[in-house]
Structure 1
Amino acid sequence: MTTLGCILAPYGNPPSRFVPFARTAEAAGLDEVWLWEDCFLESGPSAASAMLAATQRLRVGIGVMPLPLRNVALTAMETATLDGMFPGRFLPGVGHGVQDWMGQVGARVASPLTLMREQVAALRALLAGDRVTTSGRYVTLDDVALDWPPAAAPPVLAAAKGPKTLRLVGEIADGVVIDGDSGVAGARRAIALLDEGRAAAGLPPVADSGPGSEHPFRAVAFAQAATGDGAADRLRRSLARWDVDATSDEVLADHASWGSAEQVADGLRRFAALGVSTVVAQPTLDDPDLDGFAAFLGEEVAPLLR
């Protein structure tokens, strides 16, 4: 079964929109809502906490929290707190962050790959209840352990786009977040590179690492989608914001799904066929009715995927 979610992007959505949207998504039957912790908008964990408290079963993921912006002990504390209050419903994702933004706050690092390797290893260990002492290039912990670690550690997901990062994520993380500007072809390339990293670590490929496997790996893909009047034009404008030229129908079809519930479901199935376990629909930034889009996904698209 394909898990279906929806993104609530921070652009144009003030903090007051987050709780009502979460309630709408849950009422519509969606499995997950995903947030972005983009500078200098809403905080990921605080927004996730409010959304989790306002719902009963909805899972909330952050894709992603920028590693250079955060001390790993703080990320572990926030994740463990949310999991303790809402067991199994918070999905933490981390990533390099936008380098220009990291530079604006004096947090840009010389080696993002080293930072990711050190932080993900420490975060996974802390969430597993381990007592950690380490002295790396960026992460230093001296006899640190969480007083309230999760009863079952949540998967630590990491965003990846470049080949080196994708291989690293396959090697060290519990899952991946694939950007919404990747498209189907980009997601296929990403999974091949993830598999290279997993093979180097002696782990099975993504397609053989679903829930219940000995070494589960959760592949989350953000997928551009739209419905209603002008859907294709809105998708082209949205993709242009991510530097994707979707003027040709071929590029648009690779990067997005639009139209009726059946058409959108068919488009999202392309990601599931690659081994993606969770497809998160990314609405256009100028979607005229986000609540209606969430209801469309939950009530009409999700049953087709299940």
Structure 2
Amino acid sequence: MTTLGAVFRPQLPPERLHGVARAADEAGLAELWLWEDCFFESGIAATAAALAATERLRVGVGLLPVPLRNVALTAMETATLHRLFPGRALVGVGHGVQDWMGQVGARVESPMTLLREYLAALRALLRGERVTVQGRYVRLDQVALSWPPATAPGVLAGATGPRSLRLSGEAADGTILDAGTTPDRVRRARELIEEGRRAAGRTDPHRVVVYLRAATGPDAAARVAAETAAGGGAGGPEPDAAAAGGAEEIAAVVRRLAEAGADTVVLQPTADEPDPEGFVRFAAEEVRPLVG
């Protein structure tokens, strides 16, 4: 069964989060996803606020840029969320936008090495292990969480290229694919993820989350096309890389992504979405019933 979510865009001021999260919760949306984009809003602080304002909604942060965050701090914050809100927090990590990392003096020579070391240490800490490691970037000396989660949560990784997709399969518990991913690219991502999993001897579940640019209303197609162009997609979105129109049109693209291997599809509104609360209600009440 496909999980459907929606994004709270960080272009919205933080004080809008409570209203959007409550609207999503009341409408029955499964998941609300947040971004820790520089230099908008904190992913962890926003996740905690959204969880505290709701009763059943799962809240994901996809993703936390690892060069910006010490792995022990991310483990502490993730464990705290899971103890306060068991089963409702979803955490993804990734390389981060390299230009942003450079702005804050956190850019590293080998983002792949950092992410590999980070995933190994973070997952071990969340399992309650005492960790000592002297890696190229991650260095811990007898570090253990005093309050680890009762059950170790999965950690997702953001990935795009072949090397990062294989790494996610090897070292993470799930993968986040960004907006603009077509069904064919989901299939190829699944193949690369499986290569990594086989190399690591993993047989546990691996969740694939795909963001989908989406808009509804009379100007939906124009807004999606404009945002795609702003992101470097000249000529408009590829077929099934975005969705615009009514519930059926959007649900049809969601179904095709799910058939290609997406476990979760997260509707990503345009930055100029005029009604964020209405968008999450639309996703839950009109699109979700049409998704298998």
**CA-to-partner distance for each residue in 1:221-266, whole Å, 9 max, x for gaps?**
111111111111111011112211243xxx4423112222122111
Question: What displacement does 1:186 show?
Answer: 2.5
Name the amino acid aligned to 1:171: E
Equivalent position of 1:136 in the other structure: 135
Q: Give the total of aligned pairs.
A: 292
The list of structure 1 runs, each at least 4 consecutive aligned residues, that deviate by more than 2 angstroms after superposition, is 181-189, 251-254
Q: What TM-score do you get using the length of structure 1 for normalisation? A: 0.93
1:141 CA drift (Å): 0.7
Instruction: State the superposition RMSD in angstroms.
Output: 1.1
Distance (whole Å) between structure 1 residues aligned to residue 245 and residue 104 of structure 2: 41
Letter in 2 for 1:227: T
Q: Deviations over 1:60-88 (max 9, x none)?
A: 10110000000000000000001110001
Matching residue of 1:282: 268
Match for residue 156 of structure 1? 155
Runs of 5+ consecutive residues of structure 2 not aligned to the other structure: none
**Cα shift readout 1:78-99 (whole Å, capped 9, x = no counterpart):** 0000111000100010000000
In the other structure, the counterpart of 1:24 is: 23
Report the Cα distance in structure 1 between the residues aligned to 2:195 and 2:201, rounded to whole angstroms.
Answer: 10
Map of 1:210 onto structure 2: none
Partner secondary structure for residue 253 of structure 1: coil
Q: Does 1:7 align with 2:7?
A: yes
Distance 1:97 1:26, change over 3 A: same
Shift of 1:282: 0.6
- SS of structure 2 residue aligned to 1:254: coil
Matched residues in 2 for 1:281 and 1:166: separation?
22
* Deviation sequence 1:164-199 (CA, Å, 0-9, x none): 111111111000000012233332222221122112
SS at match of 1:220: strand
Give the AA of the match of 2:269.
Answer: P
Structure 2 equivalent of residue 209 of structure 1: none
Question: Is the CA contact 2:65–2:93 (under 8 Å) kept in the aligned structure 1?
Answer: yes
- Are residues 1:227 and 2:216 paired? yes
> Identity over aligned residues, as a percent?
59
Moved more, 69-78 or 184-193: 184-193
Name which of structure 1's ranges 237-246 and 123-132 shifts more when overlaid on structure 2: 237-246
What CA distance in whole angstroms lies between the structure 1 residues aligned with 2:281 and 2:53? 17
Unaligned runs of 5+ in 1: 205-214
Q: Distance in 2 between matches of 1:150 and 1:79?
A: 8
Answer yes or no: is 1:92 the counterpart of 2:91.
yes
TM-score normalized by the length of structure 2: 0.97
Which residue in the other structure is 2:199 paired with? 200
| Residue 283 (structure 2) pairs with residue 297 (structure 1) | yes
Secondary structure of 1:33's counterpart equals strand
